Amino acid sequence: MPPQLLMVGLGNLPHPNIRHSIGHVIIDVLAARFGIHRSINRSVGGFKGCSDVLSFSDDIVSLTLFKPKLLMNIAGPSVASALHNTVKLPASMVIIHNSLDHKVKVLSVKLEGSANGHNGVQSVIDALGANADFYCFHIGIGRDHAVDPANYVLPDMPLDRLLHWSGIGLDRVCHELGRIASRNRTI
């Protein structure tokens, strides 16, 4: 049986073209790259799709992509439901979210149980419990210190500026997924 991964993109579904929704954007790009059709799944409260993909490290991986319908900061219960209905183990889940603390286009990967001030990640931790360590892909969106963070992450942006992950950045995301899948093969 191939290793299973659940990738969750945090964002705000009603506002797809904002920095705050970069997690949703990456899930959409990965779905297009791997041909994964997603549909609304009411039992988990979001858009979910799964497929075995020839991946990252030339292995087959059962990849589930999930975008919660709930706003990012209250998405935890939907994410917990998706986890329990798919891969079961938190270490087989990757949360993709925006990070003001990283430069634009920087990807930081951590296995952690700390939200580091991110309300969406905190919502997931609250829903799963403090001891549930899962992977976080912090996607750098930069920060303009002269502007209130909400005024920086919430305005609409041209989609092409959000899709800067379609090249090398997306390849790095896929490479890191391959490393996680290889680790999970031994679990």
Task: Give 45's contacts (C-beta < 8 A, 6+ positions apart).
Answer: 68, 69, 70, 77, 78, 81, 82
Residue 164 falls in the annotated catalytic set: no
Q: Which two tokens stand for residue 11?
A: 């964002």
Active-site annotation holder among 15, 20, 97, 138: 20
Task: Give 186's contacts (C-beta < 8 A, 6+ positions apart).
Answer: none
9 close to 25: Cβ distance less than 8 angstroms: yes
Q: What are the helix (H) ranges across 35-128?
A: 76-84, 119-128
Q: Is 94 left (phi over 0), alpha (psi -120 to 50) or beta?
A: beta
Query: Which residues are tagged catalytic?
Result: 20
